[in-house]
């Protein structure tokens, strides 16, 4: 059995596709992990749904020594730009990828909507970014004695608003719900610019995320 066994979780398919492409892996389906070997490092990649709702929906073929929660996030720190990558809990046996920022990431059970809310959370927690899965995955990893690492690429800045209605336009895996989109935009056409921006910025953030995950894996396998 390999000494290091890395299980990578993403919430949605867009993130998983970017990570899989960067690592040269097959892209997983929801709750159907895929596996590969990179040198002596065993890697699993799984989609676990928004808010980690499907974390226990699959059986994992490796018992991880390390768990990486990889995804996009909203910035709390005004200095962070779209595509910047924040890392929390870097493994002492490796190092953070070049160009990333090490710092705390806050987990919320809801979308933090407005710049004012983001500013309040930044002041009260000191966290650099906010997302919705890390806490559940951290507990899951701890129960298995695995080191936990979080890696998040920024998809909306601290000065940008994010309407919670966007979550109703996708399913748990981040896949578009066409009927919901049509009905919502018929009532609220003003959401179109925000959805266009969010789609563009999420794609950029996911691509940067994939590169950062690849660099982290290369740090471990070249050491």
6 and 66 in contact (C-beta within 8 Å)? yes
Rounded CA separation 181/212 (Å): 32
Choices 3.90.1310.10, 3.40.47.10, 3.40.250.10, 3.40.50.1580: CATH for 4-222: 3.40.50.1580
Rounded CA separation 80/139 (Å): 27
What pLDDT tens digit does each residue of the chain (223 aa) get? 678 899 999 999 999 999 999 999 999 999 899 999 988 899 999 999 999 999 998 889 999 999 999 999 999 999 999 999 999 986 644 566 777 899 999 999 999 999 999 999 999 999 999 999 999 999 999 999 999 999 999 999 999 998 888 888 888 888 888 998 899 989 999 999 988 999 999 999 999 999 999 998 988 777 5
Residues belonging to the chain: 223
Rounded CA separation 190/188 (Å): 5
For residue 75, CA distances in Å to 55, 129, 139, 150 come to: 24, 4, 23, 15
Backbone angles phi, psi at 137, to 5 degrees: -70, -35
Its pTM stands at 0.93
Map out the domains of the chain as residue ranges. 4-222
β-strand partners of 66? 6, 147
For residue 131, CA distances in Å to 5, 22, 186 come to: 25, 22, 29
Specify the 3-state DSSP secondary structure of 114: coil
């Amino acid at each position: 059995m390999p000494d290091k066994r890395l299980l990578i979780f993403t919430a949605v398919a867009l993130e998983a596709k970017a990570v899989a492409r960067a690592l040269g892996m097959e892209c997983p389906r929801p709750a159907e992990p895929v596996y590969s070997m990179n040198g002596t490092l065993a890697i699993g990649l799984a989609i676990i749904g928004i808010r980690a709702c499907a974390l226990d929906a699959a059986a994992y073929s490796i018992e991880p020594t390390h768990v990486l929660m990889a995804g996009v996030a909203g910035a709390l720190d005004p200095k962070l730009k779209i595509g910047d990558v924040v890392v929390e809990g870097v493994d002492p046996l490796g190092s953070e990828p070049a160009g990333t920022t090490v710092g705390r990431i806050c987990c919320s059970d809801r979308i933090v909507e407005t710049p004012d809310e983001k500013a309040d959370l930044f002041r009260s927690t000191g966290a650099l970014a906010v997302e919705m899965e890390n806490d559940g995955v951290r507990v899951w990893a701890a129960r298995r004695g695995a080191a936990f690492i979080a890696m998040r690429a920024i998809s909306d800045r601290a000065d940008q608003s994010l309407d919670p209605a966007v979550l109703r336009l996708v399913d748990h895996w981040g896949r578009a719900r066409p009927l919901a989109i049509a009905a919502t935009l018929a009532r609220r056409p003003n959401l179109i610019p925000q959805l266009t921006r969010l789609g563009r910025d999420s794609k950029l953030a996911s691509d940067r995320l994939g590169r950062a995950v690849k660099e982290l894996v290369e740090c471990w396998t070249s050491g």
